[in-house]
Structure 1
Amino acid sequence: MSESGRAPANDDALTLGVLVFEDAEELDVVGPWEVLGFWAAHIASRPVRVLTVGQGAGVVRCAKGLGLVAGHELATAPPLDLLVHPGGDGTRALAKDGPHLAWLRELHQQGTVLASVCTGSLVLAAAGLLTGRPATTHRGYLDKLAKIDPTIDVHAGQRYVDDGDIITSAGVSAGIDMALHLVHRLDGAEASEQTRDGIQYEVRGTG
């Protein structure tokens, strides 16, 4: 996976990062990437670049075997306006990884918007970033989210929860809905609808 989007023409460019790591859930990564990348390349009203970041540059192997490339190391990545943190089995280790949790806290303090998909919210909770805030996660992990931090206002049944500088989504495919919402936030309703139409993301019956 390589960098996507228009080359930034000036300092007004938005930089959006998607985290990749061992045993991340594939659709948690590529769903938001497709939405944000399509918007950046074809629709965005300002320069946007979308890039992958990881603990080390190079290939990581996701939960079902798909290899993805981390284009930038966490320590040397460009300043991010937004970070998408996927879920997956790999979050179990990340939720106990002190340097990773400290990095997330630092990003938050610097004003980076944090957006989690699925069990990515468990990592945000472990970092202490969801204390006293509304949030959601995969429906099978709602109890675990509450156990990590009982002060979290857990929202079951919502595809995503937007609490300003932190947005959390439910499981796997919900990351696509969250990413379309992010496009709405960043560029308006029309851009979001054009992106939805461009990737042909439609809610229809099976007939």
Structure 2
Amino acid sequence: MKRNVAILVFEDAEVLDFAGPFEVFAVTSQLNEGRYFDVGLVAADRSPVRAMNGMTVVPNWTWQRMPAPDVLVVVGGLGSRRAMTDAPLLAWVAQAAASAEVVLSVCGGARIVGALGLLDDRDATTHHQVFDELQAIAPAARLRRDARVVDAGRIVTTGGISAGIDGAFHVVSRLLGEPVAQRTAAYMEYRWDSGCAVAAASQT
């Protein structure tokens, strides 16, 4: 089964939040004859998006013109503060998350999924500077300040920035098996610790 991986981008998104998971999912597919994932950046339209510190990217897909995502990646960065109050963006994320197999929240992307109530009654993590803010946004979330990756069923959350790479490897391992993820990590010369993810029990 080939899965669509949609990585949400917006103004002032953190670069490694989207570039790291993009690389993990795309290289996994590359190493396996393109069988596993179609990976793309998605935004409201295909206009260039200026990410944190000036990097500009052009989305592959728009909200209205893309296949339904099987894996939805919601990234952070300073722009996530604006994004969590953007009604059209929230409506699209809510719709995409409802049918996605996995939602991967990276860093401050937890603000967005938290604003939608997707972290209620779940264990979750985020960037170490966002915990107090996230607790106010999603008071029913159970924040794991000690965790780099938290697997709470359909919702997987990660700590800050580089932790999104670990989160993406965890999702690949969950969907395709650890040997597939380890092969990608070896190719990328990335020291992925498969034990860095905390499994939260009895969450769907």
TM-score, normalized by the shorter chain, greater than 0.5? yes
Checking the alignment, whether the CA contact within 8 Å between 2:10 and 2:83 is kept in structure 1 is no
Is 1:150 equivalent to 2:139 in the alignment? yes
Is 1:15 equivalent to 2:4 in the alignment? yes
Which amino acid is 1:70 matched to?
P
Deviations 1:147-198 (A, max 9, x none): 1121100001211111111111000000010011011011101001101101
The aligned counterpart of 2:183 is 194
The aligned counterpart of 2:127 is 138
Q: Of 136, 144, 169, which aligns to 2:158? A: 169
Q: Of 68, 71, 90, which aligns to 2:60? A: 71
Gaps of 5+ in 1: 1-11
Secondary structure of 2:150 counterpart: strand
The aligned counterpart of 2:103 is 114
Checking the alignment, whether the CA contact within 8 Å between 1:45 and 1:187 is kept in structure 2 is no
Checking the alignment, whether the CA contact within 8 Å between 1:136 and 1:168 is kept in structure 2 is yes
Q: State the 4+ residue runs in structure 1 displaced beyond 3 angstroms.
A: 43-47
Q: How many residues are treated as equivalent by the alignment?
A: 192
Secondary structure of 1:101 counterpart: helix
Partner Cα distance (1:111, 1:119) in 2: 20
Residues 25, 111 of structure 1: alpha-carbon distance in 2 compared, 3 angstrom cutoff? closer
Checking the alignment, whether the CA contact within 8 Å between 2:123 and 2:150 is kept in structure 1 is yes
Which amino acid is 1:190 matched to?
P
Secondary structure of 1:193 counterpart: helix
Instruction: State the 1:48 CA deviation.
Output: 2.0
Instruction: State the 1:112 CA deviation.
Output: 4.2
Checking the alignment, whether the CA contact within 8 Å between 1:43 and 1:195 is kept in structure 2 is no
TM-score (norm 1): 0.88
Is 1:160 equivalent to 2:149 in the alignment? yes
Deviations 1:95-141 (A, max 9, x none): 11112112222122224421111000111001111111111100111
What value does the CA root-mean-square deviation take over the aligned residues? 1.5
Residues 47, 177 of structure 1: alpha-carbon distance in 2 compared, 3 angstrom cutoff? closer
Residues 44, 14 of structure 1: alpha-carbon distance in 2 compared, 3 angstrom cutoff? farther
| Percent identical | 37
Secondary structure of 2:48 counterpart: strand
Residues 97, 112 of structure 1: alpha-carbon distance in 2 compared, 3 angstrom cutoff? farther
Partner Cα distance (1:25, 1:108) in 2: 21
The aligned counterpart of 2:169 is 180
Which amino acid is 1:130 matched to?
L
